[in-house]
C-alpha cells in the first residue's frame, strides 16, 4: 500500500518556562507509517500523548526532533521544516483535522462553517454548499439550524457540525480526535459510515476513538503511543 504519512524518530517534549522550566517528555523516537485506505487508532491511557501525536501530524505542535512527512499532491512535505504557507496549503488540500471541540467563529452560520474548507480549496460555491447540505443532513442537524451560528448549539450539535466540516472535502489524509465523543448511537453510526467511506476512497486515517464499538468498526490496527515513552521499560 502507498504510504501517506511517515513519522520517523519523532520526539516531543514540552518545556514550561512559566513553571520553573519544568520538562514534560511525551514520546521519544516514535515511528509510524500510515498507508492509503488504512485507519490507525492511537491507543493508550489518558495522558499517553495520543492528542499530542495527532496534533504533531497536523503541524499544530512542532517536533522537538525527528520528522513528520505527508503526501501532498505529487510532493512529500516535511512538516517540521516547511514554510508556514506550505503547511497552510497542506492543510487546505491534503490533511483534514476534526478537533475535539468546534472552534466557534462568531456569526458564521453552520452551513458556511461546513462549506468553508471546500470553498477555500477551490471547490465552486454551489458544489461546496451542496456537499455541506448533504453532510449536515446525514449528521441529523435540523435544517432550521443551518442558517444559525453554532455558538448557541448544544455540545453534540456543535461536534456534528465539526465532523461535517472535516468531511466537507475528500482529504487524502484525515486526523480525527474523538469524533464520536458526546454523540448518540445513531449519530455514531453515521460517523462510522463516513470514516469507512473515506477509507474506501483511499484516505489514510489516524484517529483517537475511545468508544470500543467505533474502534472495532473502523480501526485496522491499534498504535500504542505509550510504547514510545522515554520512561517506558
Partner 1 sequence: MSALMLSETVTPKRQPLMRATGVSKSYGETIGCLDVSFTLNPGEVIGIVGESGSGKSTLLNVLSAQLSPDIGTVEYDLRHKGMSDIFRLSEPDRRRLMRTDWGIVHQNPRDGLRMDVSAGGNVGERLMAIGARHYGEIRAEGLDWLAKVELNASRVDDKPRTFSGGMQQRLQIARNLVTRPRLIFMDEPTGGLDVSVQARLLDLLRGLVRELGIAAIVVTHDLAVVRLLADRLMVMRHGRVVEEGLTDQVLDDPHHPYTQLLVSSVLQV
| Interacting residues with partner 1 (CB under 8 A) | 3, 5-8, 14-18, 33, 55, 59-62, 67, 69-71, 74-78, 84-88, 105-108, 120
Toward partner 1, which CB reaches closer, 43 or 91? Answer: 91
Toward partner 1, which CB reaches closer, 102 or 214? Answer: 102
3-state secondary structure of 61: coil
Element holding 175 (H helix, E strand): strand 173-177
Toward partner 1, which CB reaches closer, 128 or 195? Answer: 128
Toward partner 1, which CB reaches closer, 171 or 194? Answer: 171
Toward partner 1, which CB reaches closer, 9 or 193? Answer: 9
Three cell numbers, residue 69: 512527512
Least distance (Å) from partner 1 to the CB of residue 217? 27
Q: Which of 123, 194, 185 is nearest to 164 (CA)?
A: 194
Using only C-alpha atoms, what is the Rg of the chain?
A: 18
Least distance (Å) from partner 1 to the CB of residue 115? 13
Handedness of CA 140, 143, 147, 151 (dihedral sign): negative
Return d(Cα 116, Cα 31) in angstroms, integer. Answer: 33
Least distance (Å) from partner 1 to the CB of residue 70? 8
Least distance (Å) from partner 1 to the CB of residue 174? 17
Q: DSSP 3-state helix, strand, coil percentages of the chain (rounded to 5)?
A: 40, 25, 35
3-state secondary structure of 146: coil
Toward partner 1, which CB reaches closer, 90 or 183? Answer: 90
Return d(Cα 42, Cα 221) in angstroms, integer. Answer: 9
The neighbouring-strand residues paired with 39 are 205
Longest pairwise C-alpha distance within the chain: 55
N-terminal to C-terminal alpha carbon distance within the chain: 32
Least distance (Å) from partner 1 to the CB of residue 76? 5
Least distance (Å) from partner 1 to the CB of residue 43? 21
Amino acid at each position: 500500500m502507498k504510504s501517506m504519512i511517515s513519522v520517523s524518530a519523532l520526539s516531543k517534549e514540552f518545556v514550561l518556562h512559566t513553571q520553573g522550566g519544568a520538562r514534560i517528555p511525551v514520546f521519544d523516537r516514535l515511528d509510524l507509517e500510515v498507508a492509503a485506505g488504512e485507519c490507525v487508532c492511537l491507543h493508550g491511557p489518558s495522558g499517553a500523548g495520543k492528542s499530542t501525536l495527532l496534533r504533531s501530524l497536523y503541524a499544530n505542535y512542532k517536533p522537538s526532533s525527528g520528522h513528520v512527512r505527508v503526501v501532498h499532491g505529487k510532493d512529500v512535505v516535511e512538516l517540521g521544516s516547511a514554510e508556514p504557507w506550505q503547511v497552510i496549503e497542506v492543510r487546505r488540500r491534503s490533511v483534514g483535522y476534526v478537533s475535539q471541540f468546534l472552534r466557534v467563529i462568531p456569526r458564521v452560520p453552520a452551513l458556511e462553517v461546513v462549506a468553508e474548507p471546500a470553498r477555500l480549496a477551490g471547490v465552486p460555491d454551489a458544489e461546496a454548499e451542496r456537499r455541506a447540505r448533504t453532510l449536515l443532513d446525514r449528521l441529523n442537524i435540523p435544517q432550521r439550524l443551518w442558517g444559525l451560528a453554532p455558538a448557541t448549539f448544544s455540545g453534540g450539535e456543535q461536534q456534528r457540525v465539526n465532523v461535517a466540516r472535516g468531511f466537507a472535502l475528500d482529504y487524502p489524509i484525515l486526523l480525527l480526535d474523538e469524533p464520536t465523543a458526546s454523540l448518540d448511537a445513531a449519530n455514531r453510526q453515521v460517523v462510522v459510515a463516513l470514516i469507512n467511506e473515506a477509507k474506501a476512497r483511499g484516505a489514510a486515517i489516524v484517529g483517537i476513538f475511545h468508544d470500543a464499538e467505533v474502534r472495532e468498526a473502523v480501526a485496522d490496527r491499534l498504535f500504542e503511543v505509550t510504547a514510545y515513552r522515554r520512561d517506558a521499560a
